[in-house]
Amino acid sequence: MVPVVKKNGDIRICVDLKKLNKAVQRERYVIPSFEEIVHKLKGSTIFLKLDAQSGFWQIPLDPETAKLTTFITPFGRYFTKRFPFDISSAPEIFMRIVSGILEGIDGVVCYFDDILCHSKSPEDHEKLLELVHKRLKDASLQLNTAKCEYKKSEITLSQQKDAAQIP
């Protein structure tokens, strides 16, 4: 176990899963490139970025998979019942699940643990926000409201500015 300080000063306890990661077969889920996302956002004027609260931890593991995450401490052996943050296939599995939850909703792009929503009018934006929140609630996916950004004229993704700043 390794303590890691997060950007906000909180501490995240990580487990060294290097050996497990070597054996993990990665899913073939295509993560969109930054350029593809920017193309989808073009023409929109209102943006929203939702962040899943400890996103990967919201994904339950089946009992057999959970046993593979066993780690040893001075107090005994433990395993995670939820998807660990540092497993190599976490991003694509999380994106596949969230994309499935939000499938069929125009104006939504999933990018790692962020959900980007974009609209051309305030009315469309309100409808989109309602629909996305309903789907997430129905799927019991919780958001980190401190990291969510609502009704923005621009958003930041991967340390770059998107859509509204693109000519």
* Residues 95-145: tens digit of each pLDDT: 888 999 999 999 998 887 789 999 999 999 999 999 999 999 999 999 988
User: pLDDT band for position 15 (50/70/90)?
Assistant: confident
pLDDT digits (tens, 9 = 90+) for 76-93: 999 989 888 777 777 888
Ranked by mean pLDDT, which of 30-39, 71-80, 151-160 comes out on top?
71-80
Q: In this structure, what token pair is assigned to residue 166?
A: 């693109």
Amino acid identity for residue 31 in this structure: I
* Cα–Cα distance for residue pair 64/55, rounded to 1 Å: 21
Question: Global pTM?
Answer: 0.75
* Cα–Cα distance for residue pair 125/117, rounded to 1 Å: 8
- pLDDT at 150 exceeding the cut of 60: yes
* Cα–Cα distance for residue pair 167/159, rounded to 1 Å: 18
Beta-carbon neighbour count of residue 155 at 10 Å? 20
